[in-house]
Amino acid sequence: MQTVLQRLRAAHPDAHCELNYESPLQLLVATILSAQCTDVRVNQVTPDLFAKYPDVTALAAADRAELEETIRPTGFFRQKAEFIQSTAVSLIQNHGGDVPEEMDDLTQLKGVARKTANVVLGEIFGKAEGITVDTHVKRIAHKLGLTSDNKDPVKVERELMAMIPHEHWIDISHLLIFHGRRICIARRPDCPNCTLNDICPSAEL
């Protein structure tokens, strides 16, 4: 595992969260929007969204139809609008308008599962309570033989947590995501130029 980490760090020294945000609330909302949507598309939508609704009170009081229209390009906009507005109301009612920094509190918010909670905890609070598992992480972890072919992201997360040292839980997600976007692309993996090709059981050389 140390070899995987060292090589990925050398290959992707700039790996980081690619969602644009300026506050915990903005990251929380952007991560909710990123479900089944690219970070690039989310980043195209959020400037207008955050300009219209600059704080949790504005989001809670938003006209639902206008909110839906603003986030429409991210897909599943009706469900996401409900999640965002319900979350804003919950933050006001239960957390003084602030984004909580505990896993249990975050996952009680509507539309916030462990993936979103892990992003917020790691990025905002520097807390590694788990490993963010998105489609890239799940796919590449399996290709590398780090996890079983499991479709459940929570089970994949547990498998990764069991083998990856705690101090790397935040970094590994960024590294695998960047690797998935740049090298191990789903439809055309660039195995000949992959830094892990000699230890990857799925390499096509």
Q: What is the three-class DSSP state of 90? A: helix
Instruction: Using the predicted structure, report yes or no on whether residue 205 has a pLDDT greater than 80.
Output: no
Q: Hey, CA dihedral for 127, 14, 155, 83, is it positive or negative?
A: positive
Instruction: Using the predicted structure, report yes or no on whether residue 61 has a pLDDT greater than 80.
Output: yes
- Check whether residue 101 and residue 163 sit in a common domain: no
Q: What is the dihedral of CA 136, 163, 171, 35, to 10 degrees?
A: 30
User: What's residue 149's pLDDT?
Assistant: 82
Q: Enter the tokens of residue 95.
A: 């957390």
End-of-domain residue from the set 81, 105, 125: 125
Amino acid present at 32 = I
Query: Residue 147 burial (CB < 10 Å; 0-12/13-18/19+)?
Result: buried
Q: 160 lies in which domain range?
A: 2-15+131-193
- Check whether residue 47 and residue 107 sit in a common domain: yes
Instruction: Using the predicted structure, report yes or no on whether residue 46 has a pLDDT greater than 90.
Output: yes
Query: Which CATH number belongs to the domain containing residue 189 in this structure?
Result: 1.10.1670.10
Of the candidates 144, 128, 126, which has an alpha carbon nearest to the alpha carbon of residue 136? 144
Cα dist. 131→36, 43, 136, 167 in Å? 18, 23, 13, 11
Over the stretch 159-184, which tens digit does the pLDDT of each residue have?
Answer: 999 999 999 999 999 999 999 999 99
Residue numbers annotated as active site = 115, 134
User: What's residue 150's pLDDT?
Assistant: 77
User: What's residue 148's pLDDT?
Assistant: 87
What is the mean pLDDT of the segment spanning 35-42?
95
**How many separate domains does the chain show?**
2
What is the mean pLDDT of the segment spanning 148-168?
92
- Check whether residue 93 and residue 49 sit in a common domain: yes
> DSSP assignment of 103-121, as one string?
HHHHHTSTT--HHHHHHHH
What is the mean pLDDT of the segment spanning 39-47?
98
End-of-domain residue from the set 125, 146, 173: 125
Average pLDDT, rounded, for the chain:
96
pTM for the whole thing? 0.94
